Amino acid sequence: MKRIVLASESPRRYHLLKNLGLEFEVQAPKIVENIKEGLKPDQQAVELARAKAWSIARRLHSGVVVGADTVVVIGESILGKPCDRNHAIEMLALLSGKRHQVITGICVIDCESGLSLEGAETTEVYFRCLSREEILVYVDSGEPYDKAGGYGIQGLGALLVDRIEGCYYNVVGLPVARLYCMLKQVGIDILARGWEHGIGLPRNY
């Protein structure tokens, strides 16, 4: 069985993979997550996912490395993680009552063969019109600070969202159906392994 390494410290990605029944390890990528000028949002997400994956893969001789990066896009603006309270408030005020896109780039590298697969998933998210009080209460919950766009749909942030179009898990941080297809191309069949062990995907992340 191939060794799987998740090149991410995101607890959401960790729990999504764990709930799929995968045995894997986590290694923190050593990169600077800067937004590059001139790249489209999906290219930006893939670029960062690739950098994360290769920062781990170049040190390994075998196994499969999974890197991912999520960005939130509204209009011409790419939103990363808020740097402080005021920044989080500004982000949520910008998203209030509007549609935005959540884009996750994925890079899967088979260290033995050198095969690298890349892709991006986009989900449309529609926010409710938020009052100033709602924004302040949510920001003071502490939830926004380690999340692109300043909210987490799997937590209290679900109360801010009117509806979505596309993959829910992509908004959490990892489009598992797309990842499944990519891993199959490097010889890892999550569905077959999960069926063998009687594993489903509970919603306890």
The pLDDT tens digits for 138-197 are 999 999 998 999 999 999 999 999 999 999 999 999 999 999 999 999 999 988 765 555
Write out the catalytic residue numbers: 69
Cβ contact 199:124 at 8 Å: no
Asked if pLDDT for residue 66 goes beyond 50, the answer is: yes
Kindly state the average pLDDT of the residues 127-134.
98
Cβ contact 79:73 at 8 Å: yes
pTM above 0.95, yes or no: no
- Helix, strand counts (H, E) of the chain: 7, 7
Is the CA virtual torsion 77, 123, 29, 84 positive or negative? positive
Kindly state the average pLDDT of the residues 43-56.
94
Please give the span between the terminal C-alpha atoms of the chain, in angstroms, as a whole number. 26
